Amino acid sequence: MGKHNFGYFFHEGLSNMFSHGFMSFAAIGITVACLLIMGTFTLVAVNANELLVDLEQENEILAYVDDTYSDTAAKALQSDLEAIPNVASATYISKEQATADFSAEFPEEAMFQDLDPEIFEDRYAIKIVDLEKMSETCRAVEQVTGISEINAHEEIAGGFITIRNVATVVCVALIAILFVVSVFIISNTIKLTTFDRRDEIAIMRMVGATNGFIRWPFVYEGFMLGLLSAVIAFFLQWGLYAAVAQGVDNNDTMQLIRILPFQQLWPAVAGIFAAAGILIGVGGSLSAIRKFLQV
Amino acid sequence: MIRLKDVEMEYDNGTRAIQGVTLTIEDGEFVFLVGPSGSGKSTIIKLLTGEVEPCAGRIMINGFSVSNISGKQIPLMRRTLGVIFQDFRLIEKKTVYDNLAFVMRAVGARPKEIQKRIPYVLELVDLAEKADRYPTELSGGEQQRVAIARALVNNPNTIIADEPTGNLDPDRSLELMNLLVKINELGTTVVVVTHEKDLVDRFGKRVITIDSGHVINDSVGGYVGGRIHG
């Protein structure tokens, strides 16, 4: 493709886009909507995943040591616990330490101060690697001789895992459906352009234009429609995300939810939107022009 | 040079449009291809331009074997031809100049070549003054001359005119045919498909008559064959 052809293709693609203003507007609108829905679900999944990682880091299993075990015997359990798959670390907390921690947690409650350590048990604070394997890890910890009981928030972990998995499945399904819808709409928009220009295409073919020469202006048109949609969708997504983050921040009941700042996500969002927009635009163009190039 | 040897063409609906046609048109010739409606003239044009493939036989056009041409070679073969249609097929939203420029761009001509070639071709068809007009602002005769200019602009070896006078009055038809003769005298092979007996007789050129898919006459002089239905 020569330099002068690049200019010609670009000019033709741009003028096609404007000469079918309404259809171009419709195609951009639909693609923006599709990208926004795809982007929103992806960002929900990303944030859910991030919360899960936080929870994995914060959530710990408390494993209580049998009362009959001496301090030395209790400490000796550490290697058994750390040998369990999915256990990241097992920290020994003596009953004295547990008493002190508890009192420190409620400094203003007089009745929780000066407690007798004997009402507490020696314990291990166990951190795990993968929250999804929490149940089986709990069962394995319970099996260790010397562990009398465990305390773990399995339901909370399960809830987060369900949210993440549902968000991921919905996200993937929506992305697939919306991608096909966008390609179909862009394809039909460009089909109208090609139909409007069928005489021109027939003449080009008759004088010996190659399929590539005929195809390029339509590819450029699709490229520009896709890219423009991606740019618009990016800024709308930014605004939407900022508004939701602000709303969550201001809501007292949602203080547990930490929303990732958009500044941390924008390069990935911009890249994915641009790639998806261009792919939708160019894919739609190629599928539209294909039948006009068969003879 | 155009050469058809034992060419057969049958459409998907079973119509046998061409049956065993053999003919040769040498470089620089002026040939009328005549015959009644449904005789197979249009099919011969489609075969020559590579729009349809023959079922049997061989077709050679300006060094390309059309009967077994590859997809990539078809555009190259078509660049050796200039085609003129009865309905002109000009692009209404482009000016006369742009109608010519876009077919030059389509074959990869550079802007400087385009700027140099178009005024020359428009001069040849006597439309130099109308370069900035749109087709709808021109008469039928002028539109057909733009179509001729477009066929000529890529400097083809052969011009194929399919009923070029079909939409013109007798005076404009004669004018147009004189223009095609002038182009032929400059060295371009010209094949004119027509059913206008008077025009054919007036020019005394080679006439190939087709009927029911067969060549029934090939001679110099005038129209041969009784049935002319347009």
Mutate to test the interface with A, among B89, B152, B160 (most CBs of A within 10 A): B89
Whether this model's ipTM surpasses 0.85 comes out as: no
- For chain A, state the CA radius of gyration: 30
- Closest residue in A to B156 (Cα–Cα): A207
Q: How far is CA B158 from CA A53, A207, B93, in A?
A: 74, 12, 28
Instruction: Give the integer Cα–Cα distance in Å for B104 and B226.
Output: 42
Would the pLDDT of A172 be above 80?
A: yes
Q: Is A2 helix (H, G, I), strand (E, B) or coil?
A: coil
Domains along the sequence of chain A with CATH: 3-54+158-293 (no CATH), 60-152 (3.30.70.3040)
- Closest residue in A to B79 (Cα–Cα): A208
- Closest residue in A to B99 (Cα–Cα): A200
Residues A7-61 pLDDT 10s? 777 887 787 777 777 778 888 888 898 888 888 888 887 887 787 777 667 778 8
Residues B28-53 pLDDT 10s? 999 999 988 888 998 999 999 888 88
Asked whether the beta carbons of residue A207 and residue B103 sit closer than 8 angstroms, the reply is yes
- For chain B, state the CA radius of gyration: 17
The tokens describing B57, both together, are: 């036989």
- Closest residue to B78, CB basis, from A2, A8, A207: A207
Would the pLDDT of B225 be above 60?
A: no
DSSP for B74-130, written as a single string: HHHHHTTEEEE-TT----TTS-HHHHHHHHHHHTT--HHHHHHHHHHHHHHTT-GGG
Using a CB-CB distance cutoff of 8 angstroms, which residues of chain B are in contact with residue A214?
Answer: 106
Using a CB-CB distance cutoff of 8 angstroms, which residues of chain B are in contact with residue A203?
Answer: 89, 91, 103, 150
Instruction: Give the integer Cα–Cα distance in Å for A189 and A225.
Output: 10
Instruction: Give the integer Cα–Cα distance in Å for B131 and B154.
Output: 17
Asked whether the beta carbons of residue B105 and residue A2 sit closer than 8 angstroms, the reply is no
Q: How confident is the model at residue B228 (pLDDT cuts 50, 70, 90)?
A: very low
Asked whether the beta carbons of residue B111 and residue A203 sit closer than 8 angstroms, the reply is no
- Closest residue in B to A1 (Cα–Cα): B108
Q: How far is CA A23 from CA A13, A26, A191, in A?
A: 14, 5, 11
The tokens describing B138, both together, are: 């021109």
| pTM (two decimals) | 0.66
Would the pLDDT of B19 be above 60?
A: yes
Would the pLDDT of A250 be above 70?
A: yes
Q: What is the mean pLDDT of residues A2-6?
A: 61
Q: How confident is the model at residue A4 (pLDDT cuts 50, 70, 90)?
A: low
Residues B69-89 pLDDT 10s? 888 889 999 999 999 988 888
For residue B204, give every residue at least 6 positions away whose Cβ sits within 8 Å of its Cβ, in sequence order, or none: B220, B221, B222
Instruction: Give the integer Cα–Cα distance in Å for A237 and A37.
Output: 9
Q: How confident is the model at residue B187 (pLDDT cuts 50, 70, 90)?
A: very high
- Closest residue to A208, CB basis, from B76, B89, B150: B76
The Cα angle at residue A116 between residues A115 and A121, in degrees rounded to 5: 110
Q: Is A151 helix (H, G, I), strand (E, B) or coil?
A: strand
Using a CB-CB distance cutoff of 8 angstroms, which residues of chain A are in contact with residue B105?
Answer: 5, 8
Is B123's Cβ below 8 Å from some Cβ in A? no
Q: Is B138 helix (H, G, I), strand (E, B) or coil?
A: coil
Q: How far A215 CA lies from chain B's nearest CA (Å)? A: 11
Q: How confident is the model at residue A295 (pLDDT cuts 50, 70, 90)?
A: very low
Strand partners, B24: B3
Using a CB-CB distance cutoff of 8 angstroms, which residues of chain B are in contact with residue A1?
Answer: none
Instruction: Give the integer Cα–Cα distance in Å for B97 and B94.
Output: 8
Instruction: Give the integer Cα–Cα distance in Å for A238 and A226.
Output: 18
Instruction: Give the integer Cα–Cα distance in Å for A239 and A140.
Output: 47
The interface residues of chain A toward chain B in range 182-241, judged by CB-CB distance below 8 A, are 199-200, 202-211, 213-214
Using a CB-CB distance cutoff of 8 angstroms, which residues of chain A are in contact with residue B81?
Answer: 208
Asked whether the beta carbons of residue A204 and residue B102 sit closer than 8 angstroms, the reply is yes
Question: Around Cβ A163, how many Cβ atoms within 10 Å?
Answer: 16
- Closest residue in B to A206 (Cα–Cα): B78
The tokens describing B200, both together, are: 């054919």
